[in-house]
Chains A and B, each alone.
Chain A
Amino acid sequence: MAVANVSAHDVSNHDHHDHEHKDNFITKYIFSTDHKMIAKQYLISGMFWAFIGGFLSVLFRLQLGFPDMDLSFLRPLLGGWIDASGKLDPNFYLALVTMHGTIMVFFVLTAGLSGTFSNFLIPLQIGARDMASGFMNMLSYWFFFISGVIMFASLFLEKGPAAGGWVVYPPLSALEQAIPGSGLGMTLWLIAMTFFIASSLMGGINYITTVINLRTRGMSFSRLPLTIWAFFLTAVIGLLSFPVLFSAALLLVFDRSFGTSFYLSDIYIGGEALPNTGGSAVLYQHLFWFLGHPEVYIVLLPALGITSEIIATNSRKPIFGYKAMIISMLGITILSFVVWAHHMFVSGLNPFLGSIFMFLTLIIAVPSAVKVFNYLTTLWRGNLRFTPGMLFSIGLVSFFISGGLTGIFLGNSAIDIQLHDTYFVVAHFHLVMGSASFFGMMAGVYHWFPKMFGRMMDEKLGHVHFWLTFVGVYMVFFPMHYIGIAGFPRRYYSWTNFSFSDMYTDLNMFVSVAAIVTFVAQFIFIFNFFYSMYKGRKASPNPWQSNTLEWTTPIHPGHGNWPGEIPAVYRWPYDYSKPGAREDFIPQTVPLSATPESNLPHENKLVQLEKEIMAEEGDVLVANESKES
């Protein structure tokens, strides 16, 4: 009953709800159904996983940058994975890259980003008391938590965690004889991913339902902030593609444990011929990338949405081409489902199919280009405030361009023959999907920290954090383009076995140093985050002078978000620096009739309509109140 009341727009019930329901520690901080607390849970979990994932990358960067280094000092931590001569075990190296990828893609950039900001912002920005189902939302987090516990446990197995790359292609991932990580490590990976998929689906259903059903009065789809559009479309993509990953994983479980041959065929390994015939390893790749490619947009779209909002606010300008932004996101959403096979140009795929997917892939570059140009035009003639959130958003645009452009090489199958599975690919996706999404997440944390904790993060530390990270990321990933063009393959423990790749030790060392510096720089953020949570400057109700609804809540919004009635919305969220207006922003809750000095001609016509609706609403409210009493 509590949940239903909280989510309903029925305001009159809400006031006594606060009094009858007292939270204790467990219901408030652990099994909370408040979307804001769940968002914080996701955020903290995401930060924990980002630390783990980043640390794993430091370990393998040590191996790649300093192949002759004596790593004995890591033995207290890694134990037997460092051999007698102080070398990292090659099997464990593969486990490191696999877990780094899995953790970063799913636990940090899917759960940490979407989980945090979809949960936090959807109800606040559309004017809802909570998610459509607070209970399912809580369940979603706890499924994710279980998934994390299982994945974390797999790091400590005797034979190591899954090690076949984050894509876990069979037969490697199906056969324990092939690599030790394909034993119990892979089993736990599959179980963890099953929980993760269940978690994403429950989250996604909630996001979609909430956006469609619980918008406040006046919040039409054409007045939604771009953040919400992005979260909404992300949830749609996730809902349609994650089940396919589940099917891929399920068939892999069958192959591993029940002797089926979905992916296995004609295999002779460990001195014996396996009985499996008729399976197709390429089938798995199709199923995997049917999620895998949309997954790129699952992590990227929320970051782009967050950025749109932050850039508009801090440029003091409406986002340029609001409709074009929505249309390009819709385009990306649809196209993201029909480009998956560009990961498989040289997998043995029918070349004709390859050419179809090449055409479809390069089409998706068009909406991406539109988005970039719109961001640039938003900055043009703005009045830019370099808050840390704004800086990270500008950083995102830069990464989105740099990484997006290299996608044009890789989407072209003829060029991809040479570049596939080289460091060029590593550079490409780390910039466009990894770093860009990570920057979107950072931007979001800096921007909405005041709303989450009622205090401000320190700006100067934020600036230092930004510049170290921004330069650091480029120093890590830009050199990888050269290494990739030179043909260095991915997931190599060492390159000295081949004369074509027996070079660039200096550049690899440089990359490793940059990676370590960038990783260490994140502790500035960690410090800033936890310090500001308790000791930061107290935030004002609307510190960035933003238009969106979340800033009309109290500084510490309770469960239910608005103490009284949910405010109605009368305009789009981007009325910044409107000519004639007194301030350089007009919140969405300000009726057009209150701003005759700044209304555009077509808005003046709407004023009349608005008045009629308000009168009607007033009648209804009065009627409700009289019924109550």
Chain B
Amino acid sequence: MYGLLISIGVILLILVIWMVYRIQTLISVAKGSDKKIATTSNKVNAFLMMVFLIGCGVLMFWYSIKEFDNYQMPIASEHGIITDRLFWITMAVTGFIFILTHILLFWFSYHYQYRDDRRAAYYPDNNKLEIIWTLVPAVVLTVLVVSGWKAWSDITAPAPEEAHVVEIMGYQFAWDIRYGGMDNTLGDYDYRLTNATNSRGIDFTDKNSFDDFPSQNVVIPKGEPVLFKIRARDVLHSVFAPHMRLKMDAVPGMPTRFWFVPNKTTEEMRAELGDEEFEYEIACTEVCGNGHFSMRKVIRVVEPDEYRTWLAEQTPFIKSNPDLVADLPADLKELAEIYINEE
């Protein structure tokens, strides 16, 4: 019933528009106004240019200011402060050009609308002007690029020796976290060793893996460098920690990395935002299948002391599942037993 009524309504609407259109066309033919150039519609369009400029300009400023706290995400890493500053500097520069060029575009459109009694200026070129607006953008861009390049080189420089290593492995559709244990060194892995009990494909013939342990969340200390070693098991994923201003693809067969210094603990951020539930999150930003939108992992940033306590409390893989080392050669197995039996 509803469907019928709606379709009748739509048909009537179309008919009305159709009639108006026909009448309008006939009138313009009768008046001969279709031959003129400086018609009313030319004026209306010119006027609408100004309406658009002012209307949308006001809308943009109003919304940008009103929503600032919503879209401006708090920063929780040291390099994030730098990249955000670059972002807002670029925003200021481009915003200025954006507004200036749009005022010119719409103002010219309005002001130079067609008039029968005027003739356009014959102004084919001016090399001086061309040179000016080649050089000025070039210089501005150079400044922006050089500052961006400095930040980029610092961010992508090799991680400090003492950086806390966290391995993040992406798979459909979650992240697995691994720590190197007290020695901060991850054991080798080989994707062919992957199975139900060893989801990360850790190679337990490598002694470094004996104290490796898994974690439900990424736990990292505030104010100390952290190195994410990133890999993927099946398809491309991308580690995105928005508050840390951190993003790096996880590529099967090619380990990647990203190091940074978190500068606010989760607790501090909760207090700052007045949100007791707040958590730092990792999301996936490289399309990876139907669960792409659900690869959530929590990062917990804690004080360094708390971190060390936490680190000491963790249980290595082989301790929670001694079967993992059941097939090792005798000498290695003996060593593994020491880890397993350690209190």
Which chain A residue has the least Cβ–Cβ distance from B3? A73
**CB-CB under 8 A for A405 and B98, given A280-B254, A383-B118, A460-B41:** yes
Q: Which of A359, A373, A417, A494 contacts B246 (CB 8 A)?
A: A417
Specify the chain B residue showing the minimal Cβ separation from A479.
B63
The answer to whether B285 touches A499 (Cβ under 8 A) is no
Enumerate chain B residues within 8 angstroms of A12, measured Cβ to Cβ. none
Binds B, one of A17-25, A130-138, A350-358: A350-358
When each residue 359-390 of chain A gets 1 if its CB lies under 8 Å from chain B and 0 otherwise, what string results?
10011011001101110110111111110000
Q: Is the CB of A346 within 8 A of B292?
A: no
Q: Does B90 contact A (CB under 8 A)?
A: yes
**Smallest Cβ-Cβ distance to A422: which chain B residue:** B285
Answer yes or no: B284 CB below 8 A from chain A CBs. yes
Q: Residue on B with the closest CB to A418?
A: B245
- Find chain A residues with CB under 8 A from B284 CB: 489
Contact yes or no, A398 B105, CB < 8 A? yes
A370 and B252 in contact, given A401-B102, A417-B245 (Cβ under 8 angstroms):
no
- B130→A324 contact, CB < 8 A: yes
Number of interface residues, chain B, beta carbon within 8 A: 111
Give the chain A neighbours of B80 by CB distance below 8 A. 418
Check if B293 is an interface residue, CB within 8 A of chain A: yes
How would residues 280 to 322 of chain B score, 1 for a CB under 8 Å from any chain A CB and 0 otherwise? 0101111111111110100000000000000000000000000
**Could you say which of A30-38, A104-112, A164-172, A546-554 contacts chain B?**
A164-172
Q: CB of A265 within 8 A of chain B?
A: yes
Instruction: Given A273-B191, A461-B21, A467-B48, check contact A577 B122 (CB 8 Å).
Output: yes
Contact residue among A89, A269, A421 (Cβ-Cβ distance under 8 Å from B286): A421
Tell whether A355 pairs with B144 under 8 Å between CB atoms, given A408-B94, A415-B83.
no
Chain A 246-277 interface mask (CB, 8 Å, partner B; 1/0) = 00000000000000000011111100010001
Contact-residue bracket for chain A = 35 or more
Q: Which stretch, B152-160, B208-216, B218-226, B325-333, touches the partner chain A?
A: B152-160
**Contact, CB under 8 Å: B145 / A412:** yes
A404 to chain B, nearest CB (A): 9
Say yes or no: B120 contacts A576, CB within 8 Å: yes
Q: Which residues of A contact B101 (CB under 8 A)?
A: 372, 376, 401
Task: Tell whether B58 is near chain A: CB-to-CB under 8 Å.
Answer: no
B113 at interface (Cβ–Cβ under 8 A)?
Answer: yes
- Whether the Cβ atoms of B145 and A383 lie closer than 8 Å is no
Nearest-Cβ distance from residue B134 to partner chain A, whole angstroms: 6
A418 touching B253, Cβ below 8 Å: no
Give a binary string over B11-41; 1 marks a CB under 8 Å from any A CB, 0 the rest: 0000000000100110000000010010001
- Could you say which of A266, A377, A412, A458 contacts B86, with CB atoms under 8 Å apart? A412
For B92-131 the 0/1 string (1 means CB < 8 A from A) is 0110011001101100110011110011111111100110
B239 nearest in chain A by CB position: A346
Contact across chains for A537 and B122 when beta carbons are under 8 A apart? no
How distant is the Cα of A320 from the Cα of B80 in the complex, in angstroms?
Answer: 43
Q: Least Cβ distance of A491 to chain B in Å?
A: 5
Q: Is A394 an interface residue (CB 8 A)?
A: yes
List 14 extra interface pairs beyond A320-B125, A365-B137, A408-B144, CB under 8 A. Answer: A172-B287, A175-B235, A178-B289, A268-B192, A273-B191, A362-B145, A370-B137, A376-B105, A383-B115, A383-B119, A405-B97, A412-B144, A487-B240, A490-B287
Q: Which residues of A line the B interface, CB within 8 A?
A: 89-91, 94, 164-165, 169, 171-172, 175, 178-179, 264-269, 273, 277-282, 315-324, 346-348, 351, 354-355, 358-359, 362-363, 365-366, 369-370, 372-374, 376-377, 379-386, 391, 394, 397-398, 401-402, 405-406, 408-409, 412-415, 417-418, 420-422, 458-461, 463, 467, 470-471, 474, 478, 482-483, 485-487, 489-495, 497-501, 503-504, 537, 574, 576-579, 584
